Structure 1
Amino acid sequence: MSDLVEPRASRRGIWGWMLFDWAQQPFHTLIITFVFAPYFASAVAPDAARGQELWGYATGVGGLLIALSSPVLGAIADASGPRKPWILAFSVLGVIGCWMLWFAVPGMENLGWLLFFIALAVFGMEFAAVFNNAMMPDLVPRAELGRLSGSAWGLGYLGGLATLILVLGLMSASPDTGRTMLGLEPILGLDPAMREGDRASGPLTAIWYVVFLLPMLFFTPDVPRRGPSAGAIRRGLAQLVSTLRALPKQRSYLSFLLSSMFYRDALNALYAFGGIYAAGVLGWSIIQIGIFGILANITGALGAWAGGFLDQRYGPRFVVALSTVLLALCCLVVISTTQTEVLFLTVVADGSSSNLPDLTFYAAGGLIGAAGGSLQAASRTLLVDQVEKERVTEAFGLYALSGKATTFIGPISIALVTGFFASDAFDLSTQDAQRLGVTPVIVLFVIGLVLLPWVRTKGYGKAEG
C-alpha cells in the first residue's frame, strides 16, 4: 500500500497521542520503580525482604486481572470502534489507585487496603495503555511507525525524568537531615519524618496523568464506530474465538506473543524490583535510588529515540534481539553486585570502603534504561506487523495477555523465591535472599530471546524475516 493512501493524523493529533507516554511514564518511574516501591519496602513493610514479597503479590494481582480480561475487551473495542472511552474509564481507576498511596504511612499495620490500591493502580494504568497503543497504526504510515513509537517512548522517559527531579529535588527529603537532594526543605510543608515527600509521589502521578492525558482525548483522532453498540460484545467475542483458533497456524504471530511474554515480564520485574533491590542489598537511600532513576530515564529517552531509528533502518526484530541480550547481561551484573562485591568478586575488604559497587550499579542502570526504552518501543511496531489494522486493539489485548500472563508470574515468582530463601530453613542474610529472589529475571530474558527467530517483520531500509 502506498504511503499516499495510508493514514496520517494532524501534527496536533500525533503529539496528543505521544503525550500519553509523557503522562503515564511517571507512574512507572515514581510508583513502580524509584520512589514509592523502595519506600514501601524500606519503611512501610516490616522489612525489605517482606516488602519485596508483598510488592510482588500486589503488582502480580494487578497483572493477573489484566491478563484475564484484556483480550476480550480488546476484541469488543475493535468490534465497536472508538478507543478513547476505554482509555478514559481505565484512567479513572488508575488515578484513584495512585491517589490513595498518599495514605501509606511508615510502619502501618494494616497493609491489605494499600495492596488493593497498588493493584488497582497497576490495573488501570496498564489497561489504559493497551487501548492507547492500539491507536498508533491509524496515525502514520507503516514505514514511520518505528520512529513514532520510539519518539513517544523517549518523550515518556523525559516525563518520568521531569517528575523524578521534581520529587527528589523539592519534595522527598531524608528523614535524618530533613533536606531534599538539592539541599532544600521540602515544599508544601511536607514532613520528612512521616516520609510525606515519598508518599506524595502518588497524588503527583495522578495529577500529572490527568493534565497530560487531555491533549490525546481532545486532539488525537479516534476510529469511527463500526457497528451498533448492542452487538459489539457478541461480534467481539466471535472475532476473538476465531483469532484464538487460528493462532496456532500463525507461527510468527504466536512466536512473537510468546517471546514478548517472557522478555517483557523480565523487563517489568527488573524495573519493579530494581529500586527495592538497591535499597535492601546496597543500602541506598531514596535520594541515591532517585539519582539512579534520573540516569536510567535519561538513557531510556536516548535509547528509545535511537532504537526508533534502528527500527526504521533494520526492522524491529533486530532492535528487540539486541536489547534483550543487553538486558540479560545487565541483570547478571546487578545481582552480582553488593556493598562488597562486583561480578561476585570481593572488592571491599573488612574495614575498608569502595565506590565501585555503586558505580557498577549506576552503569548497569544506565544500560538497562537505554535497552529497555528501545525494547518497548520496537515491540509495539513488531506487533503491528503481525495483524491487520482492523484487529489491532484485539492484538494489543492479546499482547497484554501474553505479557501479563507472566507479569503476574514474574513478580510472584520473585516473591516466592525471596520468601523461600529468607525462611528459617536457610541461614542467609536478607541481602542474600533478595539477590537469589531476583534470579528468575535472567531466565525469562533468555527464553524470550530463544523464541524470537521465528518472528517475521516488515523491515524497512533492510528487509527482515
Structure 2
Amino acid sequence: MADVSLKKRIWGWYFFDWASQPYNTMLLTFIFGPYFAQTAAAQLMAGGMAETAAKAQAQALWGYGLTVAGISIAVLAPILGSIADSSGRRMPWIWLFSAMYFVGAYALWWTAPQDFSVLWALFFFGLGLVGMEFATIFTNSLMPSLGPKEELGVYSGSGFAFGYVGGILSLLLMLLLFVSGDSGRTLIGLEPPFGLDPATKANTRAVGPFSAIWFAVFMIPFFLWVKETPTNTPRLRYKFGKGMKDLKQTLVTLPQNPSLLAYLGSSMFYRDALNGMYTFGGIYALGVLNWSIMEVGIFGIVSATSGALFCWLGGYADRAFGPKPLIVLCCFILMGTAILIVSLSPTSAFGIQLAEGSNLPNILFYVAGMLIGAAGGVLQSASRNMLTRQGNSERMTEAFGLYALSGKATTFLAPALIAVASQVSGSQRFGVTPLIGLFAIGLIMLVWVKPDGEVE
C-alpha cells in the first residue's frame, strides 16, 4: 500500500473527532440524556413519587451511572496507556474500543418506555462511553506525530472544530428526520421514517443506532489514513507486567515534574466541571425550564455551532499565545456561566422575579449554551495541546492515560456531587452548584503550571 501523505494523515486524525462527537452531542447531552431523565422520571412518578422529587431522582440516577463509568475509565486508562507505549502499538486498541462504542450506542435502541430498565440503559450507555473515552486517549496520543510542536495547537483546535461540525450535522439530521414534537412530526413537518412510532419513543431511541452507524462510517478515513509511526525499537507483545512496571516508574518520578503534576491536578477539576455542564445541561433545560427534547436539540445545535467556530479560532489563538492563557480565560467564562445557569428558573433570573410569560430565562439559557460551546470547546482543545508540552514525548499514550486518570479520577465527582446535591435539596437548580467550586479549584492549581512544561 502506498504511503499516506501527511495531509491525509492529519485529516484522518480529524475524522475521529467527526465520527465520535455524536456520543457527546446526541447521547450524553442533548437527546438520550434528556430522554433517559424524562423516561426514568415518568417511571418513578408512576410508582407514586411526586413530580419534582422524581425529576431530581432521575437526574441523580444518571449521575450515579456516569460515576461508575468514570471510575472504570480512571482505573484502566493509565494502565492500558502504559501497556500500549511499552509495546509500541495503539491501533489494535483503537479497534477494540471502537467496537465497544458501536455496541453500546446501538443497544440504546432497546430502551422503550414500556419496558424501560434503568440498569440496562445505564450499562449500555456506559459501555459505549468507556469505548469512546478510551479510543480518544489512544487517538490523542498520536497528535505529536502530526507535525512540529508550534503547530499542534492549530491541529487540536481544527480537530475539535471539525468534530463539532460533525456533531451539528448529526444532531440536525436527527431533529429534521427523526425527533418529533407534540404533533408527532419532526422539525420540518415530516413523519418519522421507517415507521418509527413516537408513541413508543422509537423515533427518539433511534439516536442510538444512528450514532453507532455514523461512527462506523466516518471512522473509515481514520483507519485508512492514520498509521502508527514506525519506531527503531522492536515491537513487543502486550505484556501486562512491563506496562505496569513502566507505569510505576512514571508515577514514582512524577513529583520530579511539578508542572505536569500541577497540570494533571488542575485539569482534573476544571475538566470534571465542564463534563458536568455537558452532561446535565440538557437534563436541566428539560426539568427546570420545561423544554421539550426537540427544543433541547435546537439548543444543542446553537451550542455546538458556537463551539465549532471558537475551536477553530482558538487553535490560532493557541499558536499565538500558547494554551495556558486560553485555559485560564475559559475557566473564568465557564464559572460565570455556571452562576448564570443556577440563577435561572421559568419565572426568574438572578433571583429577580419576572413578568408572567417572560421569555428572558429561555434567552439567557441560549446565551449560556453559546458560552459553554465556545469556552468549553476551546478549553478542551487547549488542554489537549497543553499535555503535549507537559508530557514525555516518548510515552505519550501513557501521558494521555494519566491525563484521562486525572480527568476520570474525579469525573465521578461532578456527577456524584450533582446527584447528591439534587437528591438532598430536591432541586435540579441547586444540584449544579458544585460545578462553580470545581472550576475555582482548577484555576487555583494552574498557578503552578509552567506554560511549556519543565524545559530541561
Query: What TM-score bracket applies, with the shorter chain setting the length?
Result: over 0.9
Aligned partner of residue 177 in structure 1, secondary structure: coil
Do the aligned residues in 1 keep the contact of 2:84 with 2:238 (CA within 8 Å)? no
Shift of 1:228: 4.5
Please show how residues 140-219 of structure 1 align to structure 2 within 5 Å: 140-174=147-181, 176-219=182-225
Contact kept? 2:288, 2:428, Cα under 8 Å? yes
Hey, what does 1:434 align to over in structure 2?
Answer: 428
For the pair 1:414 / 2:422, whether they are aligned, the reply is: no
**Over residues 384-436 of structure 1, what are the superposed CA-to-partner deviations in whole Å (9 max), with x where a residue is unaligned?**
001221111000000000000111121122111111122xxxxxxxxxx1111
What is the CA–CA distance in structure 2 between the aligned matches of 1:78 and 1:52, rounded to whole Å?
A: 38
CA gap of 1:9–1:69, structure 2 versus 1, over 3 A, is farther
Maintained 8 Å contact 2:333/2:371: yes
Q: Hey, what does 2:300 align to over in structure 1?
A: 293
> Which structure 2 residues correspond to residues 379-390 of structure 1 after superposition, within 5 A?
379-390=383-394
Mapped contact 1:81–1:223 kept (Cα < 8 A)? no
1:336 partner amino acid: S
Q: What is the aligned partner in structure 1 of residue 264 from structure 2?
A: 257
Distance in 2, matches of 1:9 and 1:273, equals 41
After TM superposition, give the deviation of residue 224 of structure 1 in Å. 3.1
Q: Which residue of 1 aligns with 2:48?
A: none
Counterpart CA distance in 1 for 2:448 and 2:354 is: 43
Q: Which moved more, 1:129-138 or 1:222-231?
A: 222-231
Shift of 1:231: 6.6
* Match of residue 27, structure 1, among 6, 23, 28: 23
Pairing of 1:243-392 with structure 2 (within 5 A): 243-348=250-355, 352-392=356-396
2:34 is matched with which residue? Answer: 38
Partner amino acid for 2:36? F
| Matches of 1:142 and 1:74, distance apart in 2 | 21
The corresponding residue for 1:455 is: 449
> CA–CA distance in 1 between the matches of 2:358 and 2:80?
52
Identify the range of structure 1 (155-164 vs 230-239) with the bigger mean alpha-carbon deviation. Answer: 230-239
State the alpha-carbon separation in 2 of the partners of residues 421 and 9 from structure 1: 56
Residue type of the partner of 1:190?
A: L
CA, structure 1 residues 250+22, in 2 after alignment: closer, same or farther (shift >3 Å)? same
Q: Deviations over 1:184-220 (max 9, x none)?
A: 2112221111111211111111111111112111111
* Structure 2 match to 1:102: 109
* 2:449 is the counterpart of 1:443: no
Secondary structure of the equivalent of 1:385?
helix
Long gaps (5+) in structure 2: 45-53
The CA RMSD measured in Å over matched residues stands at: 1.6
Mapped partners of 2:66, 2:189: distance in 1: 33
Deviates more, 1:363-372 or 1:180-189: 180-189
1:13 aligns to 2:17 (yes or no): no
User: Alpha-carbon deviations, 1:94-126, whole Å to 9, x = none?
Assistant: 211111111111253532222211211111111
> Relative to structure 2, which stretch is displaced further, 369-378 or 41-50?
41-50
Partner of 1:224: 230
Equivalent position of 1:394 in the other structure: 398
Contact conserved, 2:14 with 2:159, CA < 8 A, in 1?
A: yes
Question: Post-superposition, which runs of at least 4 consecutive aligned residues in structure 1 deviate over 6 A?
Answer: none
Q: Distance in 2 between matches of 1:65 and 1:343?
A: 38
Task: Quote how far apart the aligned CAs of 1:162 are.
Answer: 0.3
Aligned length: 439
Contact 1:82 1:223 (C-alpha < 8 Å) held by counterparts: no
Amino acid at match of 1:33: T
Could you tell me how far apart the structure 2 residues matched to 1:179 and 1:60 are? 35
Conserved? CA contact 1:63–1:122, under 8 Å: no
Structure 2 CA distance for aligned equivalents of residues 68 and 171 of structure 1: 37
User: C-alpha distance in 2, partners of 1:48/1:36?
Assistant: 15
Q: Which amino acid aligns with 1:18?
A: Y
* 1:3 counterpart residue number: none
Question: Scaled by the length of structure 1, what TM-score is found?
Answer: 0.92
Looking at structure 2, the residues matched to 115 and 447 of structure 1 have their Cα atoms a distance apart, in angstroms, of 30
Q: How far apart are residue 235 of structure 1 and its match?
A: 2.7
Contact map agreement 1:43 1:107 (CA 8 A) in 2: no
Q: What is the CA–CA distance in structure 1 between the aligned matches of 2:337 and 2:235, rounded to whole Å?
A: 50
Alignment check: 8 A CA contact 2:87 2:237 kept: no
